[in-house]
């Protein structure tokens, strides 16, 4: 398959453009998604190509936007909503959680809401407002699907799959990744929702990552290679449905598990992954470790926010602990 080099942002645009070109029922709704091209530039060019009836600028009204998407979705359209940034999605939470997620259940399959909410998530990281990740909140809800692409190729493939999915899907796009360049398959490209990706194979320890956590894991793998530790990295890609078999298979091989993600660990992504792996019957050779945002709020200071967010120091400490190595002075504490 031929590929093109493009940014994460351009990969998202490519997915939307191709789906819109193929299917007139796909529309985009959001604040500044039209001529402005979206809060992160992900809808650039789509207004010019598809016009104001399909790329719809809205008032700053998240409840109305998400509600309009839900209503349009039950009426045969496939709306893609842009969430302006991070925590703003809380204004859409009622429609997603109380309306859209329940439709298939409550109508016994007669209705469903094939809508997508996508947008920036997580930290830059430079502190300040809007930089929490609330992905785990939505992954808690039956009836919703939740994905977090970590590469340009997955951004294209997962968003395209989300648009084609007959259920409400939330796509969390880590804010730090929009400028990331990568090889992206040309033409139609779909990444199945609910399939994890083994990024690199290893034999000693599995690091499962989501979003930024995948990149932290890949960097750790390079650092530990020379120290004789073989790290396997798994990108969950989908928070819900979670691909437990792929993760469990990896952990069964390595016997050690670290999970890295933005967002709090309590009742969070890593808690769910570790519980699922343990429930699947895999025997661990060392206690698993969760690495997420420290159990406090993100400070405005860049220096302080780097301390609170997951980073290389804590990943190294986790690997050292799982491997029984004393050669790391790193601390597990945030």
Partner 1 sequence: MSQTNARANALSNTDAAAQMRLLEQLVLLREFDLRCEKLWTDGEPLVGEFHLSLGQEAFTVGTCAGVEDGDLICPSIRGMGVYLCRGVPMDQLFASFLERQHSISGGRWAHWHTAFEQSNILPQTGMLGAGLVTAGGVALAQKIKKSGKIVVGMLGDGASNTGYFHEGVNFAAVKELPLIIVIENNQIAVSTSIRDTARVDDLSQRAAGYGIPGETVDGTDTLAVQRAVAAAAQRARSGGGATLIELKAHRWGGQTLKDPNRARTPEQLEAMRRRCPIALLRGDMEARGLLKGSDFNRIVDEARRQILAAEEAARSYSPLPNAAGVLDGLLNVYAS
Residues 226 and 273: their CA atoms lie apart, in Å, by 28
Which residues does 203 contact at the CB level (< 8 Å), separation at least 6? 230, 232, 253, 254
CB 8 within 8 A of CB 151: yes
Distance CA(171)–CA(37), nearest Å, equals: 18
Q: How far is the CB of 90 from partner 1 (least distance, A)?
A: 13
Q: Which is nearer to partner 1, 51 or 245 (CB)?
A: 51
Bond from prior residue into 125 cis (ω within 30 degrees of 0): yes
User: What minimum distance in Å lies between the beta carbon of 238 and partner 1?
Assistant: 13
Least distance between partner 1 and beta carbon 159 (Å)? 18
Q: Which residues bind partner 1 (CB under 8 A)?
A: 27, 53-54, 56, 58-59, 61-77, 79, 94-95, 98-99, 101-112, 114, 142-143, 145, 166-167
Q: Least distance to partner 1 from the beta carbon of 139, Å?
A: 14
Nearer to partner 1, 97 or 313 (CB): 97
Least distance to partner 1, CB of residue 194, Å: 10
Q: How far is the CB of 54 from partner 1 (least distance, A)?
A: 8
State the nearest-atom distance from the C-beta of 295 to partner 1, in Å. 30
Nearer to partner 1 among residue 96 and residue 234 (C-beta):
96
Nearer to partner 1, 110 or 333 (CB): 110
Angle, helices 212-225/312-323, rounded to nearest 10 degrees: 60
Shorter beta-carbon distance to partner 1: residue 78 or 256 = 78
Residue 155 near residue 173, CB atoms below 8 Å: yes
Nearer to partner 1, 66 or 83 (CB): 66
Shorter beta-carbon distance to partner 1: residue 77 or 134: 77
Q: Which is nearer to partner 1, 191 or 315 (CB)?
A: 191
At its nearest, how many Å lie between partner 1 and the CB of residue 206? 28
């Amino acid at each position: 398959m031929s590929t093109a080099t493009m940014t994460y942002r351009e990969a998202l645009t490519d997915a939307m453009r191709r789906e819109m070109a193929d299917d007139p029922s796909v529309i985009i709704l959001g604040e500044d998604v039209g001529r402005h091209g979206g809060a992160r530039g992900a809808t650039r060019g789509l207004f010019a190509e598809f016009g104001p009836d399909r790329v719809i600028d809205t008032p700053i009204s998240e409840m109305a936007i998400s509600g309009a998407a839900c209503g349009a979705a039950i009426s045969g359209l496939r709306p893609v909503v842009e969430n302006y940034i991070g925590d703003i999605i809380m204004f859409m939470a009622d429609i997603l959680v109380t309306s859209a997620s329940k439709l298939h259940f409550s109508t016994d399959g007669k209705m469903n809401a094939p809508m997508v909410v996508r947008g920036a998530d997580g930290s830059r990281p430079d502190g300040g407002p809007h930089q929490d990740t609330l992905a785990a909140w939505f992954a808690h809800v039956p009836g919703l699907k939740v994905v977090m692409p970590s590469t340009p190729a997955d951004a294209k493939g997962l968003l395209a799959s989300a648009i084609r999915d007959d259920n409400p899907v939330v796509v969390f796009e880590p804010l730090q990744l929009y400028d990331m360049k990568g090889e992206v398959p040309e033409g139609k490209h779909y990444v199945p929702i609910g399939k994890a990706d083994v990024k690199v194979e290893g034999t000693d320890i599995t690091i499962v990552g989501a979003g930024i956590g995948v990149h932290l894991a890949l960097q750790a793998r390079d650092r530990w290679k020379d120290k004789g530790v073989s790290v396997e990295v798994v990108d969950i890609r989908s928070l819900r449905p979670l691909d437990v078999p792929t993760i469990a298979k990896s952990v069964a091989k390595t016997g050690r598990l670290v999970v890295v993600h933005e967002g709090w660990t309590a009742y969070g992504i890593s808690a769910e992954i570790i519980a699922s792996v343990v429930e699947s019957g895999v025997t661990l050779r060392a206690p698993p470790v969760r690495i997420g945002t420290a159990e406090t709020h993100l400070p405005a200071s860049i220096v302080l926010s780097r301390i609170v967010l997951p980073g290389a120091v804590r990943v190294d400490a986790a690997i050292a602990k799982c491997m029984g190595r004393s050669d790391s002075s790193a601390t597990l504490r945030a």
